[in-house]
Amino acid sequence: MGRTSDAKERILAAAQSLIEQRGFSALGVAEICKAAGVPKGSFYYFFDSKEVLALAVLDEHWAGQRAGWSRVLSGDAPPLERLRRLFEETEAEQRAGQQSCGTVSGCLFGNLTLEMSNQTEAIRERLQQIFEAQVDMVEEVVAEARQDGEVTVSDSREAARSVVAQLEGQVLFAKLYNNTQRLDALWENCLALLGATAPGAAHRAGASLV
């Protein structure tokens, strides 16, 4: 097939799928090329090294996820309601992955953080940027909820970090137990971490809060 116009996309897709199944360290370039159906020469035409490929996989996955997060988090719904939708979509996405490949694959960024961040500074740095961007997006919504008096937390950024950390921790358990229902707790935990009231808080405009 050689350097067909979609060879790069096929390599990226195959690499992401293989990374989700078996992590990054254990993968070889030959295996990735075989799964992508491209000759090895194509790989090195597009990517100087496995590390460059890993960065490209991270960038592509984040581009897709950022668009999804942005869509969910920037709507017209009340801010907490948007956060709730983020968790619902995360659960739906993990469930879809489980249905298609048999296991909950978890968060690609969390997986690679625990596998790779201590081995490659370039990957560590990229993962930091991605998680900072996630925290930025959540922080913006938390700040809105603060302005609306829906949450009592004093530091929106720190609260956003804790929400993202809870998300990563629960996704880890969803993967471990191969059970997406582990993610059901995210919404109530988010409300607790933000100092909001009962799960209905987002729906009750001007509700008095703790």
- The site for a copy of itself (CB under 8 A) is made up of 21-23, 25-26, 103-106, 110-111, 113-119, 124, 127-128, 131, 158, 161-162, 164-170, 172-173, 175-178, 182, 185, 189, 192-193, 195, 210
DSSP string for the chain: --S-TTHHHHHHHHHHHHHHHH-STT--HHHHHHHHT--HHHHHHH-SSHHHHHHHHHHHHHHHHHHHHHHHHTSSS-HHHHHHHHHHHHHHHHHHHHHHHSS----HHHHHHHHHTTT-HHHHHHHHHHHHHHHHHHHHHHHHHHHTT----S-HHHHHHHHHHHHHHHHHHHHHTT-GGGGGGHHHHHHHHHT--SGGGGGSTT----
For a copy of itself, give the closer residue by CB, 5 or 154. 154
For a copy of itself, give the closer residue by CB, 6 or 132. 132
**In the complex, least distance from residue 77 CB atom to a copy of itself, rounded to whole angstroms:** 24
For a copy of itself, give the closer residue by CB, 77 or 153. 153
**In the complex, least distance from residue 175 CB atom to a copy of itself, rounded to whole angstroms:** 6
**In the complex, least distance from residue 89 CB atom to a copy of itself, rounded to whole angstroms:** 19
**In the complex, least distance from residue 177 CB atom to a copy of itself, rounded to whole angstroms:** 6
For a copy of itself, give the closer residue by CB, 148 or 168. 168
